[in-house]
Amino acid sequence: MTPVTRVAVIGTGVIGASWATHFLAHGLEVIASDPAPDAEARLRESVGVAQDRLAFTADPAEAGAAADFVQESAPERPELKHALFATLDAAARPEVVLASSSSTLLPSALADACTRHPERVLVGHPFHPPHLVPLVEVVPGGATAEAAVEAAMAFYAGVGKKPVRLRRELPGHLANRLQAALWREAYALVQSGAASVADIDTAIAYGPGLRWALLGPLATQHLSGGAGGLAHVLAHLGPPTEAIWRDLGEPEMTPELVADLVAGVEEELGGADPVALAARRDAALRAVLAAKADLP
């Protein structure tokens, strides 16, 4: 793969602007594209730095043709993304990876729009906000070449991300599926009246979430087994865990549940300004990442 010095960021909403910020912070040039009339002004205000390395065009083909790597972050509408990938496939050099930030669309569906080089299409799904959260899920499709996967993994690692590779396409990729499993039980607990929204958040944020942020759920479980490690844990707690699985809830997203969840979060946050809260969260994220620097 040609060394990446210029990245095309296609779509400059919340995710695209955050990607642009991250790439610029790592010394790359960015050529961004978005059809909205005020997109360039909003992007430059959001990025705030390295304006000399940020170019803008309303034409995605122009951006794709000038780039060494493409990060697409347009709205999550299949017809829009298909049209964009057809345009990018026609414009970008054959060796340039076309990566989508999509959290719901599978790479094979995106590659179907590419008649020239579907082998360079994959999903590179970040977690919000991409300029702070290191995770990127690299998801190849049925037509994706191994060379494209390796190039994407190397590129993301080279700009300070923590890429993980999925071995097959799945709805929701990896991390969203894990989140969905936890949300499913959290919603079920609220729906059954077993716990409040605030207590569920407290239970995770001040319990397992603290440990998961450092090593993840499986490595954390291994450490809890002492000298015997995960084998000891599964031998002794495997059957009780299976009993819990059988008792997990199956919530229905009824209007009443939605109202209870929304009201619970509003009560928990007590009218806190969401912008200020997000800023404090981001500051804490930086501190956690700094503390994690010496961990695996």
Phi, psi at 215, each rounded to 5°: -130, -10
Tell me the two tokens of residue 107: 């790479």
Considering the entire predicted model, what is its pTM? 0.93
What digits encode the pLDDT tens for the residues 242-269? 999 999 999 999 999 999 999 999 999 9
What digits encode the pLDDT tens for the residues 173-188? 999 999 999 999 999 9
Show the beta-strand stretches assigned E in 160-207: 162-165
Helix axes 197-205, 208-215, angle to 10 degrees: 40
Binned at pLDDT 50, 70 and 90, residue 1 comes out as low
Q: What is 175-294's CATH topology?
A: N-(1-d-carboxylethyl)-l-norvaline Dehydrogenase; domain 2 (1.10.1040)
Structural domain spans, the chain: 6-165, 175-294
Q: What is the pLDDT of residue 293?
A: 87
Neighbours of 76 (CB within 10 A): 14
| DSSP secondary structure code for residue 144 in this structure | -
Superfamily covering domain 6-165:
NAD(P)-binding Rossmann-like Domain (3.40.50.720)
CA pair distance 103, 119, nearest whole angstrom = 20
